[in-house]
Amino acid sequence: MPSIVIERRFCGPPNSANGGYCSGLIAATTGASVAVRLLKPPPLDVPLEVLEHGEGIVEVRQGEQLIAQTRSNRIPAPTLKPPTYVEAVRASQRYVGFAHHPFPTCFVCGPQRERGDGLRIFPGALEGQDAVAAPWVADESHAAADGKVSPEFMWAALDCPGWLAVLKDARIALLGEFTVHIDRRVRVGDRCLVVGWRAGGSGRKHEAGTALYDEDGVLCGYGSAIWIEPRLT
């Protein structure tokens, strides 16, 4: 029975996986275009069993606990005009996570992660738009054998910008479901930018779209996410 292990380096909250990275690992086991639904916080440094049911459908379990499951899904490409790389850099300077972040060691957007360790994607408000953006340059540790960035890291890069797009004050929310389509894997050292925007939702449920572009504004990948705010006790 195949299994995956999510190393502690790839956390979101301190004791569970970053949802985008975890979803990318799970999607890679299917060989299909899928939505990954996260039902429990994915644990770190333990084997998770992957049960294959065919046609891109898998379940991920830790013992009797169902952690995640997939379903076949395709999403349309975004039609928005991307900002320039310089505009993304300026937006990132307005990242609210510099002042307040519920999970400052998040692999993707945690400001306490060092260069070469976390992705250090800091999405801030784009001037004059209801969207956030940030630059991103992948590190060598994110590369596959062919020198291009492994898909799970592109999934991760497309994760947190959606959170900041729908919860601009960085309130806690958990990734409930995530679908990513990759047109072209970027290379280590490429100057890229990531954009996030609100796509709908109501109450505690929020829908976000994200897109990753190269420096020339060419679309490389895009995502669709559902974020859930936990109930207040």
Question: Over the stretch 144-178, which tens digit does the pLDDT of each residue have?
Answer: 999 899 999 999 999 999 999 999 999 999 999 99
In the predicted model, what is the mean pLDDT of the chain? 95
Contact of 205 with 72, CB cutoff 8 Å: no
Over residues 190-200, the mean pLDDT reads 96
Residue 210, SS3 per DSSP? strand
**Structure confidence at residue 147 (pLDDT):** 87
| 60 and 98 fall within a common domain | no
| 106 and 151 fall within a common domain | yes
Top pLDDT among 56 and 14 is at: 14
Residue at a domain's end among 72, 103, 124: 72
| Cα separations in angstroms, 5 against 61, 132, 201, 206, 225 | 12, 31, 32, 29, 23
N- to C-terminal Cα separation, the chain? 39
Candidates 177, 145, 132, 144; CA nearest to 20 is 177
| 25 and 122 fall within a common domain | no
Kind of pairing, strands 65-72 and 58-62? antiparallel
Over residues 21-35, the mean pLDDT reads 94
pLDDT category, 231, cuts 50, 70, 90? confident
11: which 2 tokens? 């956390």
Residue at a domain's end among 16, 43, 72: 72
Q: In what helix (H) or strand (E) does residue 227 lie, and over which residues does it extend?
A: strand 219-228
Q: Provide the total of helices (H) and of strands (E) in the chain, helices listed first.
A: 4, 11
pLDDT in tens, 101-117: 999 999 999 999 998 89
Residue 13 dihedral angles phi and psi, to the nearest 5°: -60, 160
Locate tokens 């928005």: which residue?
80
pLDDT in tens, 61-110: 999 999 999 999 999 999 989 999 999 999 999 999 999 999 999 999 99
| 33 and 60 fall within a common domain | yes
Residue 87, SS3 per DSSP? helix
pLDDT category, 31, cuts 50, 70, 90? confident
Rounded (to 5) percent helix, strand, coil in the chain: 20, 35, 45
The stretches of 120-219 forming alpha helices (DSSP H) are 151-157, 160-166
| 224 and 159 fall within a common domain | yes
**Structure confidence at residue 32 (pLDDT):** 86
Residue at a domain's end among 72, 101, 120: 72
User: Is 78 part of a structural domain of the chain?
Assistant: no
User: Is 92 part of a structural domain of the chain?
Assistant: yes
| 176 and 107 fall within a common domain | yes
The Cα–Cα gap between 188 and 223 comes to: 21
**Domain range holding 36?**
3-72
| 92 and 19 fall within a common domain | no
Q: What is the CATH number of the domain that holds 41?
A: 3.10.129.10
The Cα–Cα gap between 44 and 34 comes to: 23
The Cα–Cα gap between 191 and 136 comes to: 6
Contact of 117 with 106, CB cutoff 8 Å: no
Q: Which amino acid is present at 186?
A: V
Q: In what helix (H) or strand (E) does residue 89 lie, and over which residues does it extend?
A: helix 85-92
The Cα–Cα gap between 156 and 25 comes to: 10
